Amino acid sequence: MTKTRVLISGASVAGPALAYFLHRDGYDVTVVERAPELRDSGYAVDFRGEAFAVLEEMGILAEVREHDTKMRGAVLVDERGVETGRLPAEVFAGELEVPKRELTRILHRITADGVTYLFDDSISALTQHESGVTVEFERSAVREFDLVFGADGVYSTVRRLAFGPHAGKLRHLGLSGAGFSTANYLGLDRSGLLQSTMGAAIYLFALDAAERLTVSLSFATGSPELDRCDRDEQEKAVRAAFAGHGWEAPRLLQAMSEADDFYFSSTCQVHLDRWSCGRIALVGDAGYCAAPTSGMGTSQALIGAWTLARDLASAGGDHTTAFAAYEAELRPYVAENQAKGQQTATMFGGGANAE
């Protein structure tokens, strides 16, 4: 019997997790990833609730635990750097927190033998027909698949190609920010510092005294427009937001200009009326991003992949039944996480706007 051929776009969390379960269940799995190699993300991600059962089922819980950042929590400071309170580790680090690159590396390792990975490529066109999907790539030759999954993040190409450019507004939560690293000149050791005045927040942490300091400078914005600007424009906006800001702001703004790992992103959620369209379905941030402020994105990506694979197995591979069950089951959980993402963004001075 020929195996069902599936294509997954995105090799971060949701993609390789789905690849693991589908390969285990006898599918012929290909993953396409736009980056030339696994991404080396500088931030840490956390796990909560049922995500532990998913890691356990993949047989990687113990290995993931080995990378526990063991963060000790964050100190809240005012504009003079005077302590005003403390946040326990669980607020930022959940029940377990690991560097994202380690999670991605482990998920890739456990799938690399049975799954075909195409790096440095992207889907460029999707055409559905009665018996499958014809997929065109930017670099590889055109191929036929039975099912296609978009696990390609908040700006998903699969979502745009399959659902149309206007399907599913990105909901901007009114916050944007720059992230980068600098020398750990404050000597933070598995701890963070948070200084937040209306509309602008500085969060600093280091995973170890010997590690670099990770810096996040976030501020209230009216739209995610800055994401599409170049670095000069983005830095200018950060400088304007933190002009006259006390504490470490002047030094951090200087470090920002010198950073070679600068990135800029806006806090957005993905809201869609449906997560599938014929033989194509979305998983993780691509379909229902809850925003980093929810602290639930990684757990949600893992649980989404697990639920989708389980529903495909229960439906005996009937994708229409499986996709409907997947959505019905997961929507309440996603709604809860998105409400959490919204709430925390509001605490940092944001507020929801559809793009």
Ligand X SMILES: Cc1cc2nc3c(=O)[nH]c(=O)nc-3n(C[C@H](O)[C@H](O)[C@H](O)COP(=O)(O)OP(=O)(O)OC[C@H]3O[C@@H](n4cnc5c(N)ncnc54)[C@H](O)[C@@H]3O)c2cc1C
Alpha-carbon dihedral of residues 281, 284, 289, 294, nearest 10 degrees?
150
Residues within window 45-64 making contact with ligand X, judged by CB under 6 A: 45-46
Nearer to ligand X, 243 or 339 (CB): 339
Q: Find the part of the chain contacting ligand X (CB under 6 A) among 33-41, 79-87, 317-325, 344-352.
A: 33-41
Backbone angles phi, psi at 238, to 5 degrees: -65, -45
**Which member of 19, 29, 32, 54 binds ligand X (CB under 6 A)?**
32
Any idea what the Cα angle at residue 302 is, between residues 145 and 128, rounded to 5°? 20
**Which member of 168, 192, 224, 292 binds ligand X (CB under 6 A)?**
292
Output the smallest distance, CB 81 to ligand X, in A.
Answer: 24
CB 283 within 8 A of CB 152: no
Tokens 């195996």 sit at which residue? 3
Nearer to ligand X, 54 or 301 (CB): 301
Distance CA 74, CA 77 (A): 10
Q: Find the part of the chain contacting ligand X (CB under 6 A) among 9-17, 71-79, 239-247, 315-323.
A: 9-17
74 binds ligand X (CB under 6 A): no
Name which of 324, 297, 250 is nearest 17 in CA terms.
Answer: 297
35 binds ligand X (CB under 6 A): yes
150 binds ligand X (CB under 6 A): no
Output the smallest distance, CB 29 to ligand X, in A.
Answer: 15
Distance CA 180, CA 83 (A): 24
What does the chain come to in residues?
Answer: 355
Name which of 2, 46, 57 is nearest 28 in CA terms.
Answer: 2
**Chain-centre distance of CA 129, in angstroms?**
31
The 8 Å CB, 24+ separation contacts for 313-322 are: 313/25, 317/4, 319/147, 319/276, 319/279, 319/281
Q: Is 217 helix (H, G, I), strand (E, B) or coil?
A: strand
Residues within window 196-255 making contact with ligand X, judged by CB under 6 A: none
179 binds ligand X (CB under 6 A): yes
Nearer to ligand X, 149 or 242 (CB): 149
151 binds ligand X (CB under 6 A): yes
Nearer to ligand X, 41 or 321 (CB): 41
Nearer to ligand X, 20 or 80 (CB): 20
Q: Find the part of the chain contacting ligand X (CB under 6 A) among 4-12, 205-213, 240-248, 342-350.
A: 4-12
Name which of 89, 191, 179, 173 is nearest 344 in CA terms.
Answer: 173
269 binds ligand X (CB under 6 A): no
Binding residues vs ligand X (CB under 6 A):
9-15, 32-35, 39, 43, 45-46, 100, 122, 151-153, 157, 179, 265, 284-286, 292, 295-299, 301
